[in-house]
Amino acid sequence: MSDDAYDIRKTHFTSDVGPELDGKEVVLAGWVENIRKLGGIKFIILRDKEGQSQITIPKSNSKLFDEVDNLGKEYVIQVRGTVKKIEKAPQGAEIIPKEIKILNTAISPLPLDPSGKVDANLDTQLDNRVLDIRRPEKTAIFIIRHETANAIREFLIKKGFTEINTPKIIASASEGGADLFPISYYEKEAFLSQSAQLYKEQMSSVFEKVFEIAPCYRAELSRTVRHLSEVYAVDVEVAFNDYEDVMNLLEELICHLFKHIKKNCSKELMALNRELAVPKKPFPRYTYTDIVEKLQKEGVGINWGEDISTQAYRKLGELLEGAYFILDWPTAGKPFYILPRKDDPKLCESFDFMYGWLEMASGGTRIHKKDMLIKRLEEQKLEPTSFSFHLKTFDWGMPPHAGWGLGLDRLVMILTGSENIRECVLYPRDRDRLTP
């Protein structure tokens, strides 16, 4: 065993090793998951990004047999050896090594056991995130996250959407709101963007169908299992559409996504012990008024016009399973850019897409007439001059448009069955956590 590794490359991943390679020489590389001794045989379980292989060292190879004792958990090693077909081994084959190189060592004890045999609380997991994510059921969450973004992107591009990138450093609040992070920007104050809203609306007047997958920033004061300060949002805006159209689009996307994950992430779902049920179209649609009545009937204290509290959402999650929409919200509680209903302006053409107790997305028909937009800004006690950069684009031919913003992190929560949003983000940011 030597550490003078000149060729660090491998010929195969662990998942390539199977009985069909019997007798072939391979070079694998990865991490020492475990070392076991069983009488006259020593086993190394080698882990790489695809899975695990069993490296079997018989006593007859006395040099390697002794050198196995120099290895520790999470050491990075390269193994050159011969594949041997064997029914009992995982994947039906093992590796009989000719050479084992140590490419790097690791400390012992590690702050967290990546094999998952010793439980660690969420804070310890997050503090030692790299080790934590080496556990297969954690890796699985991020493979599903990767596939989710990938599937959404593919779906929208196929439908003729253009992917855009909008600024995350902005001069004024896009939606008013007190949940903005101020930053020092040269001689001025600026803010981190809380949503792509205004910019995606503007771009609907050029590309007609646009989307963005990007972070947005919310200075959330409360500590909950569904809020972070740095959030990934999937934002969509479509010209010549109303809220019905974009609700249908979202419904189709969600069904497509669940099917995609079921098909392409079966290994990951298994690691998570998760059965994924594809929601059926059409998703139930309840008005805000229906929901308030349902909650009142259940004894939840809520008056028409009020926001739905966390406790009320929890109740809703008990009453309504899976995917559904809540539509026609009170205009006063929704952002200024949402179009009031013509027949009843105290309601607006808005919706939330829900999954159980969790709000996944908000959307609606937008106001495309400048004078109405100014009136709504004033009604919401916002200063139209702060929005002049936006309002002027409404003089240049703004089409009617609609769209939604979908929380990617919450979507991964439901796909993976995670209880806490922090589990679905590599390096979560919240009120208490700014590292690692």
Residues of the shown chain interacting with ligand ATP in the complex, contacts defined by CB under 6 A = 195, 218, 220, 227-228, 231, 233, 359-362, 405, 407, 409-410, 421
Q: Using CB distances below 5 to 8 A depending on partner kind, what does residue 302 bind out of Mg ion, ligand ATP, none?
A: none
In the complex, what is the shortest distance from the CB of residue 234 to ligand ATP, in angstroms, rounded to a whole number?
A: 9
**Residue 366 CA, distance from chain mean position:** 27
H-type alpha helices, 166-282? 197-203, 243-264, 266-271
* Nearer of residues 174 and 362 to Mg ion, judged by Cβ: 362
In the complex, what is the shortest distance from the CB of residue 335 to Mg ion, in angstroms, rounded to a whole number?
A: 9
* Nearer of residues 77 and 312 to ligand ATP, judged by Cβ: 312
In the complex, what is the shortest distance from the CB of residue 409 to ligand ATP, in angstroms, rounded to a whole number?
A: 5
In the complex, what is the shortest distance from the CB of residue 426 to ligand ATP, in angstroms, rounded to a whole number?
A: 15
* Nearer of residues 54 and 194 to Mg ion, judged by Cβ: 194
Q: Using CB distances below 5 to 8 A depending on partner kind, what does residue 218 bind out of Mg ion, ligand ATP, none?
A: ligand ATP
Q: Using CB distances below 5 to 8 A depending on partner kind, what does residue 114 bind out of ligand ATP, Mg ion, none?
A: none
* Nearer of residues 220 and 293 to ligand ATP, judged by Cβ: 220
d(CA 15, CA 91): 8
In the complex, what is the shortest distance from the CB of residue 359 to Mg ion, in angstroms, rounded to a whole number?
A: 6
**Residue 135 CA, distance from chain mean position:** 18
Q: Using CB distances below 5 to 8 A depending on partner kind, what does residue 340 bind out of ligand ATP, Mg ion, none?
A: none
Whether the upstream peptide bond of residue 330 has omega within 30° of 0, thus cis, is no
Strand partners, 405: 235, 362
Six-digit token pair at 72?
């520790």
* Of 249, 274, 347, 352, nearest in space to 304 by CA: 347
Query: How are the residues of the chain apportioned to helix, strand and coil, as percentages rounded to the nearest 5?
Result: 35, 25, 40
The site for Mg ion (CB under 5 A) is made up of 362
d(CA 195, CA 26): 50
In the complex, what is the shortest distance from the CB of residue 6 to ligand ATP, in angstroms, rounded to a whole number?
A: 47
d(CA 280, CA 386): 43
